[in-house]
Chain A
């Protein structure tokens, strides 16, 4: 898996499709589902996307992709069952499920570097207004890179806190975490300079 738990190495069909094409398919499918607004079409689409996971060798990742939205879907379903009707609940929930699972499939089969290269290409027209597309890509990459860095900094500070016999008061970790992150950011900047990346 990737830094934020997404890319899974593989060789099946979606791995061979360019990132831009996959995003277009995702956009197209979601748009069609929203425009049609048919609960049975949406349900069928969600079921079809579920089948794509084992088809592309990602059966083990289906639950991982679905779990984060499960509670949200339950709340949305309950909301619609209470205030609207069962059909709307089925339509909205299956649209959401289809979109999330399809997006999960895209991210699991696309390297971060491919996605960043795509964003760099998309940002090229902004060169006219002074934006450097390669910097856009680098900023996005660093943002992704910093997620585990923040998590690690939090873990380290928490362990130091607990090791000294302290408990509770998570707010007390904010300052050491920020100090840690500033130090890490400085070191990362130095490393980028040393490698000639600016």
Chain B
């Protein structure tokens, strides 16, 4: 379980997350909000990429400030721009590098890499240059590269933003099928259908916390008031 205790974070004078307290235990959680609402910073805190200025984030009781490595093993993170997540030259190599230092044997590593590539529809691209994949395939690779480490929680920061409708559907269906807890930040509001809980963020605060339909309605109203 992830617990945020009165978490605040600012970039210079600009407070982007303002005294947020939450417990995140549901299987599927959505987080929506306008650009600049603070949701990406909040999401990064869940994986220890951003450490709060005040308050603390606990993942299974581990403070992200002092246990970043253990937290990252538990919480995987997928960004919106898959291109910048590709570290290694080929598809299989990029997936494999996440298992470096895992203590697994060579055969077991290859088995896991093959399995995760097959699950994400990339088995035929195993030795292909990662940067030549299509946008959708790159996002699937980003997902596969994180999933190979078998995190308990997956945080996805707008993973479908740069994709066409077909790939949005593929990535969304893949996320839905994962056994892990998924925390999804998105502007594609229809992808939140069936989620257990959706949070709406505005000006660094959680302004709504409830069922997807009600959250989307609240968010649409909120955006109407801002415009």
Residue ranges of A at the interface with B (Cβ–Cβ < 8 Å): 1-4, 7, 9, 111-113, 134, 141-142, 144-145, 148-149, 152, 184, 187-188, 190-197
Contacts and interface: CB of A to CB of B under 8 A. Distances in A.
B210 interface: no
A193 B89 contact: no
Interface residues of B, number: 33
Given A196-B73, A197-B98, A142 B49 contact: no
Contact of B90 (A3, A192, A194): A3
Q: Interface centre among A149, A194, A196, by most B CB within 10 Å?
A: A196
Contacts of A197: 87, 97-98, 100
B145 A141 contact: no
Nearest to B85: A191
A190 B84 CA distance: 9
Contacts, number: 90
Given A145-B131, A187-B79, A195-B76, 16 more contacts: A1-B129, A3-B89, A3-B129, A111-B90, A113-B96, A145-B87, A145-B89, A148-B131, A152-B83, A187-B84, A191-B85, A191-B87, A194-B76, A194-B79, A195-B77, A195-B146
B111 to A, nearest CB: 16
B88 interface: yes
Contacts of A144: 89
Contacts of A112: 88-90, 93
16 contacts: A3-B131, A9-B126, A113-B93, A134-B101, A145-B86, A145-B87, A187-B79, A187-B81, A188-B85, A191-B79, A192-B87, A193-B49, A194-B49, A195-B76, A195-B97, A196-B98
Interface residues of A, dominant DSSP: helix
B72 interface: yes
Contacts of B93: 111-113, 141
Contacts of B101: 134
Given A152-B131, A187-B84, A194 B72 contact: yes
Interface of B: 44, 47, 49, 69, 72-73, 76-77, 79, 81, 83-90, 92-93, 96-98, 100-101, 126-127, 129-131, 145-146, 149
A191 B84 contact: yes
Given A193-B49, A193-B72, A197-B98, A113 B88 contact: yes
A184 B100 CA distance: 23
B44 to A, nearest CB: 8
B88 A145 contact: yes
A152 B83 CA distance: 10
B88 A195 contact: no
